[in-house]
Structure 1
């Protein structure tokens, strides 16, 4: 056998050995502890108190299912996240797996102090994805949040994430902030970070059971309608409800956002905005910064509560476009002014816009940009093109008032 044939035969043997051999580092599902979420608050014995949400892998296997909880919560105290993970191996006879972790919940008291030392391990550890979502919570509620079930989702962190994504995708509500984005905003000038603020309404021990998820009338609920506002590295307050919606829009993250305006006494027109584009620009006028916002969007009429207000004609669309332009402009101006005066923090990224358009000027003011932001003039231009009215032209209220027979 010549040299080339020997080489080919050796390669074939090696390939067969590789294909027929088992994985050297194989771990059976029953031996894994799949960690899906981590919560952190101030500790008493250690520097931090960590909460871990883990999955029962056997509950997702038909042959091994015992009809017990799909997830469970355990906690310990340590000076660092790596130390808390080491304690897990001593307390639970399973191998911790973090590659499927999707949520980190941080006590607002730590955020108010600008304490992020526990995140350094998350940034370095190769199993933890930097696309996971960060949320702010009240530390006293951490245990309840990680144990409160929701309909069809008995893994609490999955319920929070699905609710957060649905809120954003369906009505333009709170935006799920990733670990990567949060760290980027903390380590770069010109755009202070924000986080979704998770709060629990009417916490109850009964809500921490599988049977509670089957009940029709649930008093314990997760509220995701607030945004935690940061100035530099510290949490300084929150924006709630409609102002939180406007903050998402001003950050250029709005999607299917709902806006209402009055068409009569206690009656409203509701518009859903799609394809929203928000551009920001910063100029200086006599050494005073001017923040300019240009918002353009297409919209659809969701509902009209006033009779004879809309008949589907072009002039009706023109009137609605002008009125919704005026209403949204006022809302955005109020939210911008609130953040300027109350928090003095650029959470919208005007500093980033200045850095891109005029880096020389940005270098001069970047160390005091929040001060510049707080004293700036604000100009908002809104142009909405309402194009459709659903599957109906004439509103239902018109047909009640104007009976044909």
Structure 2
């Protein structure tokens, strides 16, 4: 398929996502029933565990049979794990005006989630409030899960998880200092997230802003994300995903992957990232796959109109991720396009296409990539090296103004 035709396909995809998102937004119900958590025993004193009150409020709203709203008013509400489970009898809104603060005892989080929405069709989460995961109390622990002897902090509870949630809008929400991932989507369809403010220190482990997998027709837009890991990470089984108008930093950038973690993973197809700005991130636009992976595909990935400011690895495909050094990745990466990418790199390799020796990358296209080497921010050992591109096992085409020089 010609480049012009591919970008037409991208435009059609974006129009489709915009239309679907407008449908979801237009479906906001006229609330006939409001359910205030304080009417069910919740107390905004920052001390009482309000999990039971939250659960009871949700149960009444979900089963009401009419469009309903769960209201968490101003104040600070402490809570341990809460499950908002459907299916509900009608569309439902959760309006958070105050601060919802997580308890800090990891023994309470046996299922690995703090706030879980599951099996819901028609959800609006909004209100301008904040979910505070109080992660600092957990990040310092070497054993992140008391039931295991792991030394990596990769098992800490997720702040907000959406499991089998369709036709949803999440907007105007703040997520602060999650223990693990801030937001996780799995098995979701027709899902829009916008106007989010997601924050954790750059040294916080595995605090991905938004991670998604096994989901389709997801639109993430107009948000500010700065964490200790990926701002947005797109996992296996993701199709027709749009990420736009994201300001990312600090963090590890916007990533597809890692892919190939498990033997039964599904393909990734139709990812569009555009009109985003990444500042002082470890990576910029990254695709990463695990060594020793099973066979799967990642294709039709578009990056357009991106600003990268003082980024360590601006454009990177890394198919040598993980500990299995002698086992190549079997994730086939194809049909990947970088267009109108501008900014600065703090390393001397601005484009690094490090692909699999077994299934090389093909159909990689770079058009109008204009990066400069920020020598003043680079390590002394690299400051005098030429600004360059690196390609291994990659069939890449360079067009228009290209800096660093093509490999």
- Short-chain TM bin: under 0.3
Give the greater-gyration-radius structure (CA). 1
Q: Normalized per residue, which structure has more helix?
A: 1
Q: Normalized per residue, which structure has more strand?
A: 2
